[in-house]
Amino acid sequence: MSPLVLADAEKISPLHAAGAIPKATPVLVLAGGKDRHARPEEARAITERIGPQAELVIVEEGEHLNLARPDPDALRARIEAFLR
């Protein structure tokens, strides 16, 4: 993004924002293994930036807008387990 268009573009980056999440806040990061827009390696970097309270789940066959399609029950169970 050009500085002429958005001077503080890095401040709206998910990776940048992840560093501001309080350390006591548990975070579940979901990513699709076949997502070409928000790639799994970006999700890994965000998870690492958040810290040890973050947990990463990569749905190997998941896509950007269809993360649950490969196995909705398994994804639901994973989210429910995190929320408990």
> Tens of pLDDT along 68-84?
999 999 999 999 999 99
Residue 43 burial (CB < 10 Å; 0-12/13-18/19+)?
buried
pTM of the full structure: 0.84
- Does residue 16 contact residue 6 with C-beta atoms inside 8 Å? no
Q: Which residues pair with 31 in a beta bridge?
A: 58
pLDDT digits (tens, 9 = 90+) for 34-50: 999 999 999 999 999 99
